Amino acid sequence: MKIIENIVGKEVVNTDAVLIGKVSDVEFNDVTKEVESLILKKGGISETLNISKSEDIIPYDMISKIGDKILLKDAFDVFD
């Protein structure tokens, strides 16, 4: 899928421009065909060696913008 090719590997940063991780996979809703969440791998040497077991799941509604990097919304913006 074109969406997966464009998103996987992008860095995800929070509103303070702190790197949260890199997108390793995308979860879709099979019925609606919409993106539900992004799965992130934590950075560091363990990711480079592909031995990292640590991952975060970011719901799609937490995403503010997708460009060269993926910017997350401020936690307070989610409840608006």
Domain ranges across the chain: 2-72
Q: What is the pTM of this model?
A: 0.75
pLDDT digits (tens, 9 = 90+) for 3-59: 778 899 999 999 888 888 899 999 999 999 898 999 998 655 555 555 556 788 999
Q: DSSP string of the chain?
A: -HHHHHHTT-EEE-TT--EEEEEEEEEE-TTT--EEEEEEE--SHHHHTT----EEEEEGGGEEEESSSEEEPPTTGGG-
Domain 2-72 has what CATH class? Answer: mainly beta
